[in-house]
């Protein structure tokens, strides 16, 4: 069961090995900061040590005196450029060098450029700022924060979901839960540090930077620098850890580009780990109040979810995960409300399942509490509340295999052996606890273009400006082409991660497999059409065969009756050497301008709860066992089992890796991960991997992934639901449920640590 | 990183001669312009962060004296040269057999890579990981005497509850030192004023009003060896380390325990507590309560209460008091159950 390459079940593709596996493990995959460039100068950032106020004076004399320093880019030097914008492609509207206002801790106040990295770092440390500082507001409980309703503040979150008469149902409910939950601040800490390398050739600018959105960045950077889009290129062939952190472009990219232009040399700026906390995006802390009412029969009659999210002063970053929690079960009535709390913080941004991770954590914790209050098995409780239709719009689910996931995961886990009595299971000095929770993630797709070329010798080249963020999308796009064009994987090459390629949407929202595969499939099908027409044409090798009956296999065009013609012969008949097709895919329901928006760097998402015909989600069920020492209360997770259904699985190996990685992250979110904020100063305190804890190998024992077969023709032509962000949803709630089962303590605030269980 | 002079002396006396230039003495050893470097896993880190700003580094790895790299085990003592790597000592079977607490305090520290680089001399002198000490824009009495202590009213979950002062509450994070202080180890030191042997408990200083003075060493004094006496209690000894994750993390609380038992009764106990105090912490009050008693949950609990009688929590670290007590209780009972 616990294999790296699970045997494919129904509607699941082969566990093809990643086409870049060898390059990656032998260190030959070139990440953006590895690009060798002659004459490169090194940049280092200087950042603010206050969170709110103004820089009254910047002292750069000592820094300039450091041998090897070439330039210092600071206030005034960006005046000829446009301010960054907050939105899909831009991380924040704060233009740190456009304005001496300090909006948050660790805001860029200068970029030092020097002959060596060491000189740049040293000089950056010598830059001193005098501030007119004001008392900052750090988070929810701080004086001076501004609160407002979130609905309508972001195009991603238009309204608060509601259905039925919540107040009446709540008043009538026989069993009630009314509890508060919270999730902490979390920062992206990919092992590949954030970096920008900028090079100019005349008016042409090339940026090497890990990016999940090369087309969007090209457009946005051209706007900021007032350049023709054709003169900007973003290159990002490999990415070492993305998860949303490299989705929106930050202010640094333009600053480094300006520096390179000023000194007439390429400039590379690799941001150190501490400074990444203030200069990149992160998952902001959230708070939740859940009210749930049910009858004695276990049917939920009322579900209320209020939530609060922190964002920066200027930008309304909203995740609004109530859109998913409100559609999870058959609630009867629903009332939700999301509030934004503006504090003196940098603007948050996407982190793996941005809305679902915190919101589903709260919901699933409440579900577990309700099951206990009802005296009901938590799996049974979910079964009883399985909806026919989603409760908000009354639309059907395009497919929903949640109960199958629960059945297969609980069987593999051995749930039936769990004694439901709290604190009843023990192994020597260790308390044993078992818990479970639901995972959900919306299935979406966005317009995408791809170019596919087939030559007479069967070589296939796929080009698409999507991004290999570690998910395996390059391999999967290749698999799709190999399957449609009837060639082996050894004949396939796939180019991605370059804004010079056909545009693809941002690699976020788990849309890449669906969007990219649908575009690649369309291009391949156009090639098939041409080949088949030629092969069946007058005087051609398979003359007289019906097009629809032809297929491609082993580099041959084959008929149903077993006749075949070699690709090379068909090309000969056509008198061409290569067939190249450029295809544009737009999901059902796309606006007429959706495809032109793709070239303008904007991704129009379709799916999730927004389609007319149905709502589209992938589901999963996760079961966790914890062990808690009866004396010292440290929590360990010996095993976790997750079963997931996500439509067609393109590649069982890469799918398993995504889900396994998600569950591991989920364990980290449950037990380890949290950014500490100094509440007096609104500053991040644990800004390195020594204090910002993530699980290490020794923390992760047995992780089992079950890929539950599911067929869904409604979601997109490829039949694929995204699963990159599914695995870490619900995990923390499953852990919380297991901790409760072991100890009788209900921990509602993450992470769950010894502090909560001792004493 | 600031430029610095890097020298590779080839003998202890040569190293001391360079280190005892007048500019380097009369300041706390960590503030001197000239610094020794061994594995560099602590010092190089702090240099990159701008916390340590030496003008001259003396690399100890080129010192020729063979004893600096040797582990010598006699009937009544183990002697570690100061340049022995943590990993080497942790993996030494004789050390483990004769005195498990020594091997485990090293094995549960840091990571394999770090243990391969880090020396025992550098290990005992590792500086605190207080987040406010590590980041130079914060006030910190240890880094900038008189500037204040940002941790006192700030984020102080990992800070100390024992041995604190109004000036500093930074934890001493090392693990090995807990075993050493429990076992009455001694440290051989050599400097321009000659050689001396310090009992390990005298090596570190509590913060008091001068948290910048961390040890009893002068700036030109070099640790050459660490010696641990072996006795009845050595083989019945144990290191229990409780942390947020299973590996590669500092202790929230730890206990080094060595017991000399007469059947069920404690003849004598040696106890040190880690992750909880500003210096390697010998819990003598706890030891005293156990002497002559049958060791069980109740007497272990009594010892734990005694160990924390003077503990002083701050806003986020109060959990360390019950955790420290339970860690000690568990360590005592687990050590009791070892084969003597
Ligand atoms: C990520 C990380 C995790 C860690 N986790 C743990 C842990 O869990 N437990 C733990 O105990 N430790 C841990 N450590 C600390 C580690 O054990 C120390 O960094 C290491 O032991 C220091 O030894 P070194 O030889 O590298 O010292 P160096 O960095 O070379 O020196 C440290 C200090 O000692 C001085 N010095 C070195 N040798 C001598 C000598 N012979 N005489 C006089 N002065 C000398 C130096 O001048 C310097 O001030 C961790 C470190 C890191 C980076
Ligand atoms: S606890 Fe000590 S080291 Fe930490 S900030 Fe305060 S004075 Fe500095």
Residues A361 and A489 in one domain: no
pLDDT single digits (tens) A93-125: 999 999 999 999 999 999 999 999 999 999 999
Residues A559 and A516 in one domain: yes
A17 belongs to a structural domain: no
Residues A492 and A521 in one domain: yes
A474: CATH: 3.30.365.10
CB B182 within 8 A of CB B256: yes
Where does a domain end: A563, A581, A605?
Answer: A605
Using a CB–CB cutoff of 8 Å, tell me whether B243 touches chain A.
Answer: yes
Residues A373 and A485 in one domain: no
> How far, CA to CA in Å, does A714 sit from each of A364, A607, A644?
28, 10, 18
pLDDT single digits (tens) A516-544: 999 999 999 999 999 999 999 888 888 88
The DSSP line for A597-609 is: HHHTT----EETT
Taking the model in full, what pTM does it have?
0.97
Token representation of residue A82: 């446009």
C-alpha span between A503 and A515 (Å, rounded): 11
Whole-number mean pLDDT of chain A?
96
Q: What is the pLDDT of residue A1?
A: 45
Residue to mutate (ligand 2; options B139, B141, B158; most atoms within 8 A of CB): B141
A139 belongs to a structural domain: no
Residues A667 and A589 in one domain: no
CB B72 within 8 A of CB B207: no
Using a CB–CB cutoff of 8 Å, tell me whether B329 touches chain A.
Answer: yes
- The distance of Cα B59 from the centroid of its chain, to the nearest Å, equals 21
Which is it for the CA torsion B127, A126, B155, A307, positive or negative? negative
CB A309 within 8 A of CB A347: no
Helices B297-307 and B320-336 cross at an angle (nearest 10°) of 140
The arithmetic mean of pLDDT across residues A124-148, rounded, is: 97
C-alpha span between A643 and A654 (Å, rounded): 15
Q: Is the pLDDT of residue A440 over 80?
A: yes
Using a CB-CB cut-off of 8 Å, the residues of chain A touching B158 are 691
Mutation target vs A (from B149, B151, B154, B239; most A CBs, 10 A cutoff): B154
pLDDT single digits (tens) A41-82: 999 999 999 999 999 999 999 999 999 999 999 999 999 999
Where does a domain end: B38, B62, B86?
Answer: B62
B256 belongs to a structural domain: yes
CB A452 within 8 A of CB A523: yes
A333 belongs to a structural domain: yes
Task: Report how many domains make up chain B.
Answer: 2
Q: What is the pLDDT of residue A33?
A: 95
A150 belongs to a structural domain: no
In the numeric block, the tokens 């909203």 are attached to: A318
Residues A590 and A628 in one domain: no
Where does a domain end: A235, A270, A305?
Answer: A270
Token representation of residue B182: 């429990």
Q: Is the pLDDT of residue B25 over 70?
A: no
Helices A252-263 and A214-225 cross at an angle (nearest 10°) of 60
Kind of pairing, strands B186-191 and B71-73?
unpaired
B203 alpha carbon, closest ligand = 1
Q: Which atom of ligand 2 is nearest to the CA of B131?
A: 4
Helices A512-536 and A473-485 cross at an angle (nearest 10°) of 20
Q: Which has the closest alpha carbon to B76: B60, B96, B57, B98?
A: B98
pLDDT single digits (tens) A225-250: 999 999 999 999 999 989 999 999 99
Pocket of ligand 2 (CB under 6 A): B 128, 130, 132-133, 140-142, 149-151, 168-170, 211
Q: Which has the closest alpha carbon to B230: B97, B332, B84, B335?
A: B97
**DSSP letter assigned to residue A248:** S
What is the four-CA torsion angle of A673, A679, A685, A686, rounded to 10 degrees?
-10
CB B100 within 8 A of CB B339: no
CB A71 within 8 A of CB A262: yes
Peptide bond into A751 cis (omega under 30): yes
Where does a domain end: A208, A241, A270?
Answer: A270
Contact criterion met (CB < 8 Å) for A754 and B242? yes
C-alpha span between B336 and B340 (Å, rounded): 8
Q: How far apart are the first and last CA of chain B?
A: 51
Q: Is the pLDDT of residue B26 over 70?
A: no
A42 belongs to a structural domain: yes
Residues A450 and A437 in one domain: no
**Does ipTM top 0.90?**
yes
pLDDT single digits (tens) A155-193: 889 999 999 999 999 999 999 999 999 999 999 999 999
Burial A108-145 (b: 16+ CB within 10 A, else e): bbbbbbbeebbbbbbbbbbbebebebeebbbbbebeeb
Task: Provide Rg for chain A, Cα atoms.
Answer: 27
Q: What is the pLDDT of residue B24?
A: 54
Token representation of residue B7: 């020298």
Which is it for the CA torsion B144, B147, B152, B153, positive or negative? negative
Token representation of residue A669: 């979110």
The arithmetic mean of pLDDT across residues A15-25, rounded, is: 94
Domain range for residue B56? 5-62
Q: What is the pLDDT of residue A88?
A: 80
B33 belongs to a structural domain: yes
Q: How far does the CA of residue A632 sit from the closest CA of chain B (Å)? A: 6
CB A286 within 8 A of CB A296: no
Q: What are phi and psi of A219, to 5 degrees?
A: -65, -45
Token representation of residue A340: 């934004």
Domain range for residue A227? 32-134+195-270
Catalytic (active-site) positions of A: 725
CB B331 within 8 A of CB B255: yes
**DSSP-based three-state secondary structure for B38:** coil
Give me ligand 2 centre to Cα A716, in Å.
57
Task: Show the beta-strand stretches assigned E in A229-360.
Answer: 232-235, 267-270, 282-283, 286-294, 300-311, 333-342
Residues A452 and A592 in one domain: yes
Token representation of residue A251: 């202010």
What is the four-CA torsion angle of A508, A509, A513, A518, rounded to 10 degrees?
-100
**DSSP letter assigned to residue A337:** E
A543 belongs to a structural domain: yes
Where does a domain end: B42, B62, B82?
Answer: B62
Contact criterion met (CB < 8 Å) for B329 and A631? yes
Using a CB-CB cut-off of 8 Å, the residues of chain B touching A699 are 245-247
CB A689 within 8 A of CB A624: no
Residues A220 and A351 in one domain: no
B30 belongs to a structural domain: yes
Using a CB–CB cutoff of 8 Å, tell me whether B135 touches chain A.
Answer: yes
Largest alpha-carbon pair distance within chain A?
87
Task: Provide Rg for chain B, Cα atoms.
Answer: 19
Using a CB-CB cut-off of 8 Å, the residues of chain A touching B245 are 671-672, 693, 695-696, 698-699
Nearest alpha carbon, ligand 2 atom 8 = B140
A457 belongs to a structural domain: yes
The arithmetic mean of pLDDT across residues B152-164, rounded, is: 98
CB A53 within 8 A of CB A133: yes
pLDDT single digits (tens) A301-357: 999 999 999 999 999 999 999 999 999 999 999 999 999 999 999 999 999 999 999
Using a CB–CB cutoff of 8 Å, tell me whether A193 touches chain B.
Answer: no
C-alpha span between A403 and A415 (Å, rounded): 14
Burial A638-652 (b: 16+ CB within 10 A, else e): ebbbbbbbbbbbbbb
Q: Which residues contact B181 (CB under 8 A, 6 or more apart)?
A: B200, B201, B256, B272, B280, B281, B282
Residues A216 and A325 in one domain: no
Q: Which has the closest alpha carbon to A736: A677, A680, A671, A681?
A: A671
Q: Which residues contact A249 (CB under 8 A, 6 or more apart)?
A: A84, A89, A90, A91, A211, A213, A216, A217, A220, A221
pLDDT single digits (tens) B232-251: 999 999 999 999 999 999 99
**DSSP-based three-state secondary structure for A92:** coil
Q: Is the pLDDT of residue A668 over 70?
A: yes
Residues A427 and A497 in one domain: no
Q: Which has the closest alpha carbon to B2: A428, A67, A699, A393?
A: A67
Using a CB–CB cutoff of 8 Å, tell me whether A677 touches chain B.
Answer: yes
Say how many C-beta atoms besides its own lie within 10 A of residue A628's C-beta.
23
Q: What is the pLDDT of residue A501?
A: 98
Token representation of residue A170: 């709540």
Q: Which has the closest alpha carbon to A108: A91, A94, A90?
A: A94
A59 belongs to a structural domain: yes
**DSSP-based three-state secondary structure for A180:** strand
Q: Which atom of ligand 1 is nearest to the CA of B224?
A: 41
Q: What is the pLDDT of residue B2?
A: 83
Q: Which atom of ligand 2 is nearest to the CA of B141?
A: 7
Q: What is the pLDDT of residue A47?
A: 98
Q: Which has the closest alpha carbon to A646: A521, A513, A515, A519?
A: A513
A73: CATH: 3.90.1170.50
Using a CB–CB cutoff of 8 Å, tell me whether A686 touches chain B.
Answer: yes
C-alpha span between A94 and A515 (Å, rounded): 32
Where does a domain end: B41, B62, B83?
Answer: B62
Give me ligand 2 centre to Cα B168, in Å.
5
In the numeric block, the tokens 């649908």 are attached to: A518
Q: Which has the closest alpha carbon to A518: A614, A659, A648?
A: A648
The arithmetic mean of pLDDT across residues A425-445, rounded, is: 97
> How far, CA to CA in Å, does A362 sit from each of A182, A324, A356, B80?
7, 12, 10, 53
Task: Report how many domains make up chain A.
Answer: 3
Mutation target vs B (from A683, A754, A757; most B CBs, 10 A cutoff): A754
Q: Which has the closest alpha carbon to A217: A236, A203, A191?
A: A236
Residues A236 and A90 in one domain: yes
B275: CATH: 3.30.390.50
C-alpha span between B81 and B223 (Å, rounded): 9
CB A622 within 8 A of CB A436: yes
Q: Is the pLDDT of residue A378 over 80?
A: yes
Q: Which has the closest alpha carbon to A509: A356, A650, A395?
A: A356
C-alpha span between B174 and B187 (Å, rounded): 16
Q: What is the pLDDT of residue A373?
A: 98
């Amino acid at each position: 069961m616990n294999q790296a390459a699970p045997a494919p079940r129904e509607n699941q593709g082969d566990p093809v090995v990643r086409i870049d596996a060898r390059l990656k493990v032998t260190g030959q995959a070139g990440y953006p900061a590895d690009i060798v460039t002659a004459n490169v100068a090194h940049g280092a950032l200087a950042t603010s040590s206050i969170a709110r106020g103004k820089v009254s004076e910047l002292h750069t004399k000592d820094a300039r005196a450091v041998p090897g320093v070439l330039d210092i880019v600071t206030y005034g030097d960006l005046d000829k450029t446009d301010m960054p914008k907050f939105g899909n492609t831009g991380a924040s509207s704060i233009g740190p060098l456009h304005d001496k206002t300090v909006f948050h801790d660790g805001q860029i106040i200068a970029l030092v450029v020097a002959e060596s990295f060491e000189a740049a770092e040293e000089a950056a440390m010598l830059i001193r700022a005098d501030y007119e500082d004001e008392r900052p507001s750090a988070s929810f409980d701080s004086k001076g924060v501004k609160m407002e309703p979130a609905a309508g503040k972001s195009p991603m979150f238009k309204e608060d979901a509601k259905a039925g008469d919540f107040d009446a149902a709540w008043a009538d409910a026989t069993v009630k839960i009314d509890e508060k939950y919270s999730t902490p601040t979390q920062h992206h800490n990919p092992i590949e540090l954030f970096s920008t390398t900028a090079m100019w050739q005349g008016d042409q600018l090339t940026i090497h930077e890990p990016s999940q959105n090369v087309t969007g960045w090209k457009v946005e950077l051209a706007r900021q620098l007032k350049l023709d889009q054709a003169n900007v290129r973003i290159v990002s062939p490999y990415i070492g850890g993305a998860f949303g952190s490299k989705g929106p472009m930050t202010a640094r990219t333009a600053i480094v580009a300006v520096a390179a232009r000023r000194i007439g040399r390429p400039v590379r700026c690799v941001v150190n780990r501490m400074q990444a906390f203030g200069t990149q995006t992160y998952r902001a802390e959230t708070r939740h109040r859940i009210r749930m009412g049910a009858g004695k029969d276990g049917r939920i009659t009322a579900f209320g979810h209020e939530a609060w999210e922190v964002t920066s002063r200027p930008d309304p970053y909203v995740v609004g995960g109530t859109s998913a929690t409100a559609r999870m079960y058959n609630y009867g009535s629903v009332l939700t409300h999301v509030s934004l709390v503006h504090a003196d913080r940098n603007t948050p941004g996407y982190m793996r399942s941005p809305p679902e991770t915190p919101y589903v954590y709260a919901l699933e914790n409440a579900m577990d509490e309700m099951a206990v209050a009802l005296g009901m098995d938590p799996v049974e409780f979910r079964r009883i509340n399985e909806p026919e239709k989603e409760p908000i719009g009354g639309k059907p689910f395009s497919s929903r295999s949640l109960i199958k996931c629960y059945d297969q995961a609980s069987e593999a886990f051995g749930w039936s052996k769990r004694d439901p009595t709290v604190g009843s299971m023990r192994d020597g000095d260790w308390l044993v606890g078992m818990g479970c929770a639901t995972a959900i993630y919306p299935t979406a797709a966005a317009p995408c273009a791809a170019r596919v070329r087939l030559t007479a010798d069967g070589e296939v080249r796929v080009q698409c400006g999507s991004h290999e963020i570690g998910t395996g999308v390059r391999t999967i796009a290749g698999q799709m082409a190999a399957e449609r064009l009837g060639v082996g994987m050894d004949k396939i090459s796939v180019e991605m991660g370059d804004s010079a390629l056909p545009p693809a949407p941002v690699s976020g929202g788990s849309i890449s497999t669906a969007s990219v595969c649908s575009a690649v499939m369309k291009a391949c099908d156009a090639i098939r059409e041409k080949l088949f027409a030629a092969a069946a044409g007058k005087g051609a090798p398979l003359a007289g065969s019906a097009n629809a009956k032809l297929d491609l296999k082993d580099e041959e065009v084959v008929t149903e009756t077993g006749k075949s013609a070699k690709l090379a012969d068909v090309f000969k008949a056509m008198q061409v050497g290569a067939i190249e097709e450029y295809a544009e895919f737009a999901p059902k329901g796309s606006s007429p301008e959706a495809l032109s928006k793709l070239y303008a760097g904007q991704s129009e998402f379709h799916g999730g709860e927004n389609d007319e015909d149905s709502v589209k989600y992938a589901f999963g069920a996760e079961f966790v066992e914890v062990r808690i020492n009866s004396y010292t209360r440290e929590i360990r997770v010996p095993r976790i089992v997750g079963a997931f259904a996500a439509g067609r699985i393109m590649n069982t190996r890469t799918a398993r890796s995504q889900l396994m990685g998600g569950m591991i992250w989920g364990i980290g979110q449950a037990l380890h991960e949290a950014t500490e904020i100094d509440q007096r100063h609104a500053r991040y305190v644990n800004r390195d991997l020594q204090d910002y804890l993530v699980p290490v190998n020794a923390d992760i024992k047995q992780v089992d992934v079950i890929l539950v077969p599911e067929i869904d023709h409604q979601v997109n032509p490829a039949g694929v639901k995204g699963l990159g962000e599914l695995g870490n949803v619900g995990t923390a709630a499953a852990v919380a449920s297991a901790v409760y089962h072991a100890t009788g303590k209900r921990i509602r605030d993450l992470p769950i640590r010894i502090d909560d269980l001792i004493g | 990183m600031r430029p610095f002079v890097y020298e590779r002396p080839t003998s202890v006396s040569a190293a001391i001669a360079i280190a005892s230039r007048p500019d380097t003495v009369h300041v706390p050893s960590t503030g001197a312009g000239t610094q020794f470097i061994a594995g560099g896993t602590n010092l190089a880190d702090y240099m990159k962060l701008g916390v340590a700003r030496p003008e001259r580094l003396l690399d100890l790895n080129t010192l020729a004296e063979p004893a600096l790299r040797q582990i010598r085990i006699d009937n009544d003592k183990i002697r570690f040269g100061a340049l022995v790597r943590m990993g080497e000592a942790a993996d030494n079977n004789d050390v483990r057999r004769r005195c498990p607490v020594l091997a485990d305090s090293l094995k549960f520290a840091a990571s394999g890579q770090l243990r391969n680089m880090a020396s025992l001399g550098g290990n005992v002198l590792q500086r605190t990981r207080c987040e406010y000490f590590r980041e130079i824009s914060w006030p910190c009495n240890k880094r900038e005497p008189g500037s204040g202590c940002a941790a006192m009213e700030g984020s102080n979950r990992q800070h100390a509850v024992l041995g604190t002062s109004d000036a500093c509450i930074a934890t001493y994070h090392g693990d090995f030192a807990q075993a050493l202080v429990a076992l009455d180890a001694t440290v051989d030191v050599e400097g321009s004023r000659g050689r001396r042997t310090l009992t390990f408990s005298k090596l570190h200083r509590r913060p008091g009003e001068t948290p910048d003075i961390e040890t009893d060493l002068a700036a030109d004094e070099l640790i050459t060896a660490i010696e641990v006496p072996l006795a009845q209690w050595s083989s019945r000894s144990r290191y229990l380390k409780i942390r947020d994750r299973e590996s590669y993390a500092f202790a929230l609380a730890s206990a080094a325990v060595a017991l000399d038992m007469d059947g069920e009764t404690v003849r004598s106990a040696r106890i040190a507590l880690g992750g909880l105090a500003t210096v390697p912490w010998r819990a003598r009050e706890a030891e005293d309560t156990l002497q002559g008693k049958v060791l069980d949950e109740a007497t272990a609990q009594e010892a734990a209460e005694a160990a924390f009688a003077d503990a002083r929590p701050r806003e986020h670290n109060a959990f360390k008091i019950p955790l420290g007590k339970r860690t000690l209780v568990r360590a005592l009972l687990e050590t009791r159950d070892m084969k003597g």
